[in-house]
Structure 1
Amino acid sequence: MLSGKLKILFLCTGNSCRSQMAEGWARHLKADVIEAYSAGVQPKGLNPDAVAVMKEAGVDITGQTSKHVNDVLHVPFDYVVAVCGDALESCPVFPGQAKVLHVGFPDPPALAKNARTRQEALSHYRRVRDQIRDFVAGLPESLNRGKPVSPCGGRPAESR
C-alpha cells in the first residue's frame, strides 16, 4: 500500500451497474483513503440507468469504463469485493495478498425487468445505489476492524 490508500477492486459480472456504482461512490466518498477500481468477468459497458441514478445523487460515472478483470490483474489490490455471486464464482486468483470478499447486492436490471413504468424501474436502481452508498461509506473502517461485510441479506464476507 505505497500510496497509503487501500486498493479496492469492485468486481461484478458485467461491470456495467453495481461495480460501477461502487467505484463511483468510493471515488466520491472515500478518495482520501481508497484507490477504487471496478471490473467484470464479462464486461458489457456502462448501464445508462446506473449512470442516470448516480448523476441524481451527485456522482458522475460517465468517465468510468467497463473493463475485463484481466485488465487489472497487475494491480496489487488489498481487497477484491465481489458485488454479485456470479463474479465470485468466476473470480480469478489475484497475485499478492488481496483478500476476496463477497457482498451481494440485488441486480437492478433484473429487478427492473418487470417494472410497469420507467419510474418504477429507476426506483430499483435507486434502492441498490443507496445500499451500495451505505456499504462504501463504511469502508475502509469495517474492513480494518475485521467485521463481516454483508449488507442486503448477503452471505457473510468470505476470504480466500
Structure 2
Amino acid sequence: MSKKSVIFICTGNSARSQLAEALFRHMAGEQFDVFSAGTAPEPVDPRVFEVLNSRHMSTEHLRSKDLASLSERHFDYAITLCDKARQSCVAQVKAAQILAWDFADPKAKAGTKAFDVVLNELSERIKYFLLFSQKYRAGPEQLGDALSFYKALADDTRLKTLLLIQQQQELCVCELTAALTETQPKISRHLAQLRKAAILQDRRHGQWVFYRLADNLPDWALTVLQLTAENNSDLIADNLSKLNQMGDRPQRAALCS
C-alpha cells in the first residue's frame, strides 16, 4: 500500500510545525511521507533541535520552508497548528483533508519547557490521528464516520460533553448546561450535531430527554474517548464539580442500565 502524505503548517515553520514533523516521522514514518512549511517562514528555533535530540528523535530533515514552494504538491492531509496559518493556508495548499490543530507558540517563553509541553501535546494528538487513519484504510465507507467523529472532538464544548456523558452514562440538556455553564440553545445545538453524526443517541422520559453514547459506536471511537478521559482527567474536573453541585437533577437511576 502506498504511503499517505501529511504536511504540518504554521506561520513561521520555526517551532510547532518542526516539532510535529519530526515527531510524526518518528511515530509513523513508515506509513506517511511527512512535511512541514510556513506561510511566512523564519529560521528554525535552536530549542527545537535541543528538545528533539534529548528524546533521541532525528532532526535530519528539519529546515524552514515556504508553503508556496510546495504549491504544486498534493497532500492527503494538511494540518494547521495556529489560527493564523489556518486562515491563510486554505488557498495555498492542495490537500484532500485540511485539519486545524491549535497549539500555543513555545517560542514566547524562555528555556525549553514550553517546547517539551508542545511536544507532549502533539504526541497525544498524533496518537489519535493515527488511530483514525488506520480506520480510513479499512475502506471509504468508514471515512465519513471517522471524519464526523474527529470533527466532534475538535470542539471544546462537544469534547467535554462526550467525556461527561461517558463518565455519567446519561445526561440531559439541563445537566450539561449546569456543568458547562453554557446556554441551553448552545448545548442543544451541539447535542443535535453529535446525534446527527451518530455519536450520541437520545431517549425521552416524561419531560426529559436524556443523551448517551450511541449503542453502535465503533470500538475504536470508544477507545479514543477512554484514552482521552484517562489521560486528561483534569479537563472535566471543574465541570463534574458543577454537575455534582446542581440541585433538582432529573431522576433516572431506575431507567439506566
User: Normalization by structure 1: what TM-score?
Assistant: 0.79
> Letter of the aligned partner of 2:63 in structure 1?
T
Listed as ranges, the matches of 1:39-118 within 5 Å are: 39-93=37-91, 97-110=95-108, 112=109, 115=110
Structure 1 regions of 5+ residues with no counterpart?
Answer: 116-120
2:146 corresponds to 1:148: no
Rounded to whole Å, the distance in 2 between the matches of 1:87 and 1:97 is 15
What's the C-alpha RMSD, in Å, of the aligned pairs? 2.3
Contact 2:80 2:102 in 1 (8 A): yes
Residue of 118, 122, 133 corresponding to 2:123: 133
Structure 2 regions of 5+ residues with no counterpart?
Answer: 137-145, 160-257
Rounded to whole Å, the distance in 2 between the matches of 1:14 and 1:62 is 19
> Letter of the aligned partner of 2:123 in structure 1?
R
Rounded to whole Å, the distance in 2 between the matches of 1:95 and 1:20 is 18
Contact 1:30 1:137 in 2 (8 A): no
The verdict on how the C-alpha distance between 1:17 and 1:89 changes in structure 2, with shifts beyond 3 A counting, is same
> Letter of the aligned partner of 2:65 in structure 1?
K
2:18 corresponds to 1:20: yes
The verdict on how the C-alpha distance between 1:44 and 1:95 changes in structure 2, with shifts beyond 3 A counting, is closer
Query: RCO higher in 1 or 2 (8 Å CA, sep ≥ 6)?
Result: 1
Q: How far did residue 62 of structure 1 move?
A: 4.6
Rounded to whole Å, the distance in 2 between the matches of 1:12 and 1:46 is 12
Rounded to whole Å, the distance in 1 between the matches of 2:72 and 2:51 is 31
Q: How far did residue 23 of structure 1 move?
A: 0.6
Find the counterpart in structure 2 of residue 33 from structure 1: 31
Structure 1 or 2: larger helix share?
2
State the Cα deviation string for residues 18-50 of structure 1 (Å, max 9, x = none). Answer: 101111011111012111100000100211011
Rounded to whole Å, the distance in 2 between the matches of 1:105 and 1:96 is 22
Q: How far did residue 97 of structure 1 move?
A: 4.9
Find the counterpart in structure 2 of residue 118 from structure 1: none
Q: Which runs of 4+ in 1 moved over 3 A?
A: 94-97
Find the counterpart in structure 2 of residue 9 from structure 1: 7
Q: How far did residue 93 of structure 1 move?
A: 2.2
Q: How far did residue 142 of structure 1 move?
A: 2.4
Tell which structure's C-alpha radius of gyration is larger: 2
Rounded to whole Å, the distance in 2 between the matches of 1:70 and 1:96 is 11
